[in-house]
Chains A and B, each alone.
Chain A
Amino acid sequence: MLLFGSGAASAHPHVFAEARLDVVLDAGHQHVTALRHLWRFDDLFSSTVLMEFDKNADQKLDDEELKEVSDTIHSSLADYNYFQLVTADGKDVKMRPPAQLIATFDNQQLLVLFESEPETPIPLAGKVDFGVYDPTFYTAIDFTEDANMAVEGLPDTCTRQVIRPDPDTALAQNQKTLTEAFFNDPAGTDMSKIFATKLELDCQPKG
């Protein structure tokens, strides 16, 4: 039991990113048209990136090398839906992959920016949830302050709430789902969903 216990252990983050999410609305403030992401990676990971992509060994990444970084991340994230989980009234919303991703360095830290659009604009009605997380647990995406999940021009009919699940409570509440997920979903996507910080918009129909 001991062996199997340690064998089936969970992966843990090696990379930390401080994130900001901007939810973009259309001109009439009735639909979500895009999500803008900004991730600032930790010093340690940033230095491995610098080291790995510094082809000409000049201790900094020039435009060509940065392009390489953004292409690598761009193609890898494609398998993970760009770390996005968007639901409207509990139903998954399909997001378009971003055409490109911008990678740059600021104060020795890697910054990644991109914009992703829903296939069709999401109407602001009922509950719309935006989660940003790495389903593989490799990267910990942190929204250090609630203000870092922002919506500009949110109508008065909507409330905005940042949900940060407490790991213990989340585990207790989802024990059954987790056990099922373990057998049905070895990749553990359901598991990470439970722990992800989410922005929830709750909008009443106009009346």
Chain B
Amino acid sequence: MTRTRLHIGCALLAVTVALVHLPGLAHAQSSLGIGTNDAMPPATGLFAHQLAWINLKQQEFYRALAGAIKAMRQDGSRVWLLIGLSFAYGIFHAAGPGHGKAVISSYMVANEVALRRGVLLSFVSAFLQALTAIVVMVLAWFVLRGTSVSMTDAAWFLELSSYVFVTAFGAWLLWKKAAPPLLRLLGGGSTLPDGHYHADGSYCTQAHGRLRYAAPVASLQAAGELGGKFSESPSPLWGGVRGGGNHPSQPLTADVCATCGHSHAPDPSMLSGDRFDWHTAAAAVAAVGIRPCSGALIVLSFALLNGLWMGGILSVLAMALGTAVTVSALAILAVTAKNWAVFFAGDGSWGARIHSIVEIGGAAFVFLFGLLLLSASLAA
């Protein structure tokens, strides 16, 4: 919990610092100098066609959205049109640029997160983003007006904080994933060829499969092997299937693997059936969620100026719901792809290696992505 508190503390501190120190600094975060742009280079090549299409759709939605808010001004019952459009806007918006889905997907790839938890993370981060937008708007309306701190400043600062968090989070994730294998590599490289890692981080110098047919409980062992594969390529897909037991093959493999010289007893956190690290998850959510979406800010201020508080908030929440749906879908896709890769690589050293590589790659991606966003944001 300490880390969660730390992050919440950081976020609060960030807002405070923003309010105290930003006056006087003029940031041209967008080309017009008003509002913030998504710090993303335009895509070209392979995905350009699809993205251009998404761009067009987003423009159409944006206009329809503006129209819906105006219509609501005359007729309160049109609020459903607004909510529906906002939801659709959220879905399309998340299919375009944005760091949220990239961070959440990479986080899920780099960690053994059950899919339903990943989906939960997507939803929590999307709604945190909506909440940030609402909080920024409330601050802008009640506190910042009449001061020299503009909403652009506040949004820019939150965006920057978010990118700093993403970078730091990526670095930390990378260290966690890459350091142990690196250290082992430096320590006992000669034992590597036959070895593999277990989900609990222990290292086995012998492939479990070796003794499969020698074992008297061949069929049982085969079943255990299957379970073992899933626990080593701990696919969230199988999280539900595995249920509470995280290492169902444990007793069997322990029997056959006497030569390993390792205890395969899972650590207590594994036995509890919960290897999910809430601290890490909270960090990922916070890193994504403290950056308000500029689309949400724009809709909110329009709604506010027209005295449509409720409409604005409902619209932003519907947007968050749509965003969460898309981010979840993309995250599920990424994790499924990883699981297939590991599955086809098979059991033993290759599966474990691919698993490690994918995890380290995911962590490295979060880190580099954070750096890219940060530098783009600072350069603007």
Binding site for B on A (CB under 8 A): 2-16, 42-45, 47-57, 59, 69, 72-73, 75-77, 79-80, 83, 134-140, 167-168, 171, 175, 178-179, 181-182, 186-188, 191-192
Instruction: State the CA gap A22–B152 with chains docked (Å).
Output: 32
State the 8 A-B residue pairs at the shortest beta-carbon distance, nearest first.
Answer: A76-B33, A188-B42, A182-B44, A9-B97, A10-B42, A178-B44, A138-B37, A47-B302
Query: How distant is B248 from chain A, measured CB to nearest CB, in Å?
Result: 30
Task: Flag if B46 contacts A5 (CB, 8 Å).
Answer: yes
B205 cross-chain contacts in A, Cβ below 8 A: none
Q: How far is the CA of A137 from the CA of B102 in the complex (A)?
A: 21
Residues of chain A within 8 A (CB-CB) of B30 are 14-15, 76, 136, 138
Q: Judge whether B301 and A51 touch: CB under 8 Å.
A: yes
Q: Which of A3, A44, A83, A171 contacts B52 (CB 8 A)?
A: A171
Cross-chain contact B43 with A9 (CB below 8 angstroms): yes
Q: B92-114: which residues lie under 8 A (CB-CB) from chain A?
A: 96-98, 101-102, 105-106, 109
Beyond the given pairs A11-B41, A135-B31, 20 more chain A to chain B contacts, judged by CB atoms under 8 angstroms and listed by A's residue number, are A8-B40, A9-B96, A10-B55, A15-B32, A45-B298, A47-B304, A48-B298, A51-B141, A51-B305, A52-B34, A55-B145, A72-B32, A80-B31, A83-B31, A137-B37, A168-B49, A171-B49, A175-B45, A178-B45, A178-B48
Interfacial residues of chain B within 297-326, with CB under 8 A of chain A in the complex: 297-299, 301-302, 304-306
- Among the listed stretches B16-24, B123-131, B222-230, B330-338, which one makes contact with chain A, having 4 or more residues with CB under 8 Å of it? B330-338
Which of B58-66, B284-292, B346-354 lies at the binding interface?
B58-66
Task: Determine the chain A residues whose CB is within 8 A of the CB of B141 once the complex forms.
Answer: 51
Contact residues in B for A138 (Cβ distance below 8 Å): 30-32, 35, 37
The reply to whether A14 and B298 form a contact with Cβ atoms under 8 Å apart is yes
Contact flag A76-B31 (CB < 8 Å), given A3-B105, A14-B37: yes
Contact B146 A56 (CB under 8 A): yes
Could you say which residues of chain A place their CB within 8 Å of the CB of B39? Answer: 11
Q: Is B250 an interface residue (CB 8 A)?
A: no
A12 close to B301 (CB less than 8 A): no
B28: interface (CB < 8 Å): yes
A178-B52 Cα distance, complex, nearest whole Å: 13
B26: interface (CB < 8 Å): yes
CB contact between A57 and one of B52, B146, B337 (< 8 Å): that residue: B146
Is B200 interfacial (CB 8 A cutoff)? no
User: Contacts of B43 on A, CB cut-off 8 Å?
Assistant: 8-10, 182
Residues of B within 8 A of A139 (CB): 31-32
- Judge if B356 is at the interface, Cβ distance under 8 Å: no
Q: By DSSP majority rule, is chain B's interface helix, strand, loop, or mixed?
A: helix
**Which chain B residues border A187 with CB–CB below 8 Å?**
41
The reply to whether A192 and B42 form a contact with Cβ atoms under 8 Å apart is: yes
A73 touches B32 (CB 8 A): yes
Q: A8 and B41: CB pair below 8 A?
A: yes
B32 adjacent to A77 (CB under 8 Å): yes
Chain A residues near B169 (CB, 8 Å)? none
Please name the residue on chain A nearest to B94 by beta carbon.
Answer: A6
Q: Is B280 an interface residue (CB 8 A)?
A: no
Most buried by A among B37, B56, B96, B306: B37
Most buried by A among B38, B42, B43: B42
Contact of B146 among A16, A55, A69 (CB under 8 A): A55
- CB of B294 within 8 A of chain A? yes
List 28 contacting pairs A-B, 8 Å CB cutoff, sorted by A: A2-B333, A2-B337, A3-B362, A5-B46, A6-B330, A8-B40, A8-B41, A10-B48, A10-B51, A10-B96, A11-B38, A12-B38, A12-B96, A42-B66, A44-B62, A44-B302, A47-B305, A51-B141, A51-B301, A75-B26, A76-B32, A76-B34, A134-B32, A136-B30, A138-B35, A175-B45, A187-B41, A188-B44
- Considering the chains assembled together, what is the distance between the CA atoms of A175 and B141 in angstroms? 46
Q: Hey, which chain A residues are within 8 Å of B35, CB to CB?
A: 14-15, 45, 48, 138
Contact of A51 among B28, B70, B299, B304 (CB under 8 A): B304
B70 touches A3 (CB 8 A): no
B140 within 8 A of A: yes
Residues of A within 8 A of B105 (CB): 2-3, 6
Tell me the smallest distance from the CB of B57 to a CB of chain A, in Å.
10
Complex interface: chain B residues within 8 A of A137 (CB): 37, 42, 55
**CB-based nearest A residue for B304:** A51
Most B-side CB within 10 Å, residue of A138, A139, A140, A182: A138
The answer to whether B334 and A2 have CB atoms under 8 Å apart is: yes
A140: B residues at CB distance < 8 A: 59
B333-A191 in contact (CB<8A): no
Q: Compute how far the CA of A49 lies from the CA of B33 in the bound complex, rounded to whole angstroms.
A: 10
Contacts of A191 in B (CB 8 A): 42, 44
A182 touches B31 (CB 8 A): no
Q: Which residue of B lies closest to A170 (CB)?
A: B52
Question: For A192, what are the chain B residues with a Cβ–Cβ distance below 8 Å?
Answer: 42
The distance in angstroms between the C-alpha atoms of A73 and B30, with both chains bound, is: 10
* Contact string against A for B residues 334-377, beta-carbon threshold 8 Å, 1 for contact and 0 otherwise: 10010000000000000000000000001001000100000000
Q: Which residues of B contact A44 (CB under 8 A)?
A: 62, 66, 69, 298-299, 301-302
- Give the distance to chain A from B86, nearest Cβ to Cβ, in Å: 13
Q: Complex: how many Å from CA A11 to CA B51?
A: 9
Task: Name B334's contact: one of A3, A13, A134 (CB within 8 Å).
Answer: A3
